[in-house]
Amino acid sequence: MKKTISFIILFLFFHSSNAREGMWFPQLLEQLNETEMRQLGMKISAEDIYSVNKSSLKDAVVQFGGGCTGEIISERGLLITNHHCGFSQIQSLSSIENNLLKNGFWAMSDTAEIPVPGLTVTFVKEIVDVSSIILVDVSEDLNEQERSLIIKSKSDSIEKARTDGKNIKAFVRSFYSGNEYFLFITQVFRDIRFVGAPPVSVGKFGGETDNWLWPRHTGDFSLFRIYCDSLNLPADYSKNNVPYTSMKFLEINIEGVKENDFTFVYGFPGRTNEYLSASSLDLIYSQTNPNKIKIREERLNIWRTDMNSNDTIYLKYAPRFKTLANYYKKWRGENLGLKSFNVVEQKKRYESKINAESNGMAQPILDNIEAVNERLKPLSYNSDFFVDGLLGIEIAGLSQKFTKLITLSQSDTTSKEVLNKELERLKADYRGFHKNYSKKTDRKICLAMLNLADKHLSQEYKPAFYSNLKNENDIEEYTDRLFDGSLLTDTSSMMKYLSAFKKRKIKRVLTDKVYLFGKEITGVSKLLNEKMAPLNIELGRLQRNYVSILRSVDKERKFYPDANSTLRVAYGNVKSMNPSDGKTYNFFTTTDGILEKIDNSNPDFEFPAGLEKLIRDKDFGAYGKNGSVPVAFLASNHTTNGNSGSPVLNAKGQLIGINFDRVWEGNMSDYFFDENTCRNIAMDMHYFLFVVEKYGKASRLIEEMKIIR
């Protein structure tokens, strides 16, 4: 009897959430999900979401840059994404004299919209299953190198056949740990302009304090516009380019969300690992996450102190601090969730079930995975203190910038033209590096990371310079020598050196303290990577075989592919939650909560006086509901990084919110999804429109949008 009860609990643990768990292929919704989505309340068809024969919602969803999602909200290519997704672009356009990040910005005409060099947005035109082509010559008796070469050759051939110059790009991605392959045909636009964003005190309201938590009151949005040539095709920046005419744009619905309303999220989720074995997950839970949390906490404390004391340093480091702090807190919440649900032990029980149902086929694979992880563990431990520690010292990366110049200088056949081209590239690279660099701050980071690595690295993986560093005083003196006597850390001297460069002068770099410092660090890091590579390749092979067995044995489970920054749909409902005994999270927040949180003595809760006055005066325009403005809401959609900026759509496919976060208690959802605990957090469109129209006074943008009231 106990065995039966245990099995039922295990079954429910891995299957009860499947009704809403998952990040699904949009082109397969009709086959796999449409019936269930309709049962949950969806009013549109799967073809309305994804179609290659007519315009569909996919034509309004873009990958913003390389890591977020955005959506088109007007027929003139107006694009909305999160403020934190546009953060680095806004920072790059800012200066102390014209601080768009701090003050916000609203373009009051097309001509006032600011070009953003290097920014792209990508539309997905079509998704095609090419598994049968890719895997036709792949057999189990091939080793991993042979297998990879065949797959790469086939992928390259398919991609080349479907790529058309600069406009159409194609790429193949693997799914289910390499058991299936799909081709993505995309269109990439290269002239993107900044249109508007609120001050950072709105776009990041709550800061580190509220990050990953509920309730939230963040106006996490920014606006950009796609520009193109006269034929509506992608083009490099030109004053003659015109706003893109959208194939499809999203209607905005502000009727208001209610508990249990159907919602779905359409976007580019970054990375999940739902099918990892217990031993692989335990390595992350027990070692990798704690190491990274420890290291990043040291770096963040130093950055925070320097940034809060100096506006220039704040502007330089704001994007990196935001990214580092985000993952630092994510990993803390992730580990708490994994512990709370005892996920590692639950996975072990599930693996026993799978092994029994596969007649013992799974156990040898799982045993081999565990054995490889045991060999990987000490290497991975040391690698953590290189990747997040020593390589986090900014000057440690400078030696790599000179690799090509050194090679060219040591060759008798290098032409003057080639050498000059590399010198100009290096000058530009150096200017970019120092634009966002503080020598004073990096010196502090260097000292902290050298001390931390000294305590944790195995002796065999300590760079050679440690042989002369016996204690913390030695490390401090060494740090001072690095920063006080190096050509590489002096921008003015470096520019003069490069401008008057002769081949024989390369010796000055080769003997520079910082160059040698960085070379030793990267050398040991490379050695670790070389030792880890064959183990990771073997883990990949074993994981592929394990996932194959899972899908063939567990007939009750709906297997969606892990996220890998490709276009997906997740669906669920607007939902409140009870995260723990005696605690309830209502499904929405309003501007009343902003007034409760404002504290201008705390950088996380500073707030613009003008916007505060509008809220206190209840001057909400058309966007108030029941005496306040809705700011954010919760839903049970399965999301992850990369879903930042994704549209949250209602049953009719209309835009009701912009996804920007998850709740702390459900932060383990990259490895395990629980329907009762995992919630995505979205900014309500009421708040977006209120800020743009009433505070930003950018009515011209409101007039572009189609708003359902």
Average of per-residue pLDDT across 295-315: 96
Query: Would you say residue 88 has pLDDT above 50?
Result: yes
Token reading at 217: 């009151």
The verdict on whether omega for the bond into residue 215 sits within 30 degrees of 0, i.e. cis, is yes
Q: What percent of the chain has pLDDT above 90?
A: 93
Calpha distance 660→205 (Å, rounded): 13
Token reading at 632: 């954010």
Size of the chain in residues: 709
Residue among 51, 83, 84, 246 flagged as catalytic: 84
What backbone phi and psi angles, to 5 degrees, belong to 636? -100, 30
| Catalytic status, residue 16 | no
Q: What percent of the chain has pLDDT above 70?
A: 97
What backbone phi and psi angles, to 5 degrees, belong to 327? -75, -35
Chain mean pLDDT for the chain: 95
- Radius of gyration (Cα) for the chain, nearest Å? 27
Calpha distance 95→98 (Å, rounded): 5
The verdict on whether omega for the bond into residue 647 sits within 30 degrees of 0, i.e. cis, is no
Query: Would you say residue 439 has pLDDT above 70?
Result: yes
Average of per-residue pLDDT across 226-242: 97
| Catalytic status, residue 340 | no
Residue among 51, 74, 525, 644 flagged as catalytic: 644
Q: What is the pLDDT of residue 89?
A: 97
Sequence-ordered list of residues with C-beta below 8 angstroms from that of 11, at least 6 positions apart, any chain: 556
| Catalytic status, residue 220 | yes
Candidates 411, 403, 390; CA nearest to 520 is 390
Calpha distance 93→104 (Å, rounded): 12
- Provide the pLDDT confidence category of residue 320 given band limits of 50, 70 and 90: very high
Query: Would you say residue 5 has pLDDT above 80?
Result: no
Q: What 8-state DSSP symbol labels residue 213?
A: -
Q: Between β-strands 222-228 and 191-197, what pairing exists: parallel, antiparallel or unpaired?
A: antiparallel
Count of Cβ atoms closer than 10 Å to residue 596 Cβ: 11
Report the b/e string of 223-242 with b at 16+ CB within 10 A.
bbbbbbeeeeebbeeeeebb
Instruction: Give the pLDDT confidence of 408-433 residue by residue, as tens digits.
Output: 999 999 999 999 999 999 999 988 89
Q: Between β-strands 121-129 and 68-72, what pairing exists: parallel, antiparallel or unpaired?
A: unpaired
Q: Are 533 and 336 a contacting pair, CB within 8 Å?
A: no
Q: What is the pLDDT of residue 581?
A: 87
> What is the CB-side half-sphere exposure of residue 66 using CA atoms within 13 A?
2
Count of Cβ atoms closer than 10 Å to residue 412 Cβ: 5
Residue among 220, 261, 306, 684 flagged as catalytic: 220
Average of per-residue pLDDT across 14-43: 86
Q: What is the pLDDT of residue 20?
A: 78
Calpha distance 593→576 (Å, rounded): 17
Calpha distance 413→338 (Å, rounded): 58
Q: Between β-strands 180-189 and 78-81, what pairing exists: parallel, antiparallel or unpaired?
A: unpaired
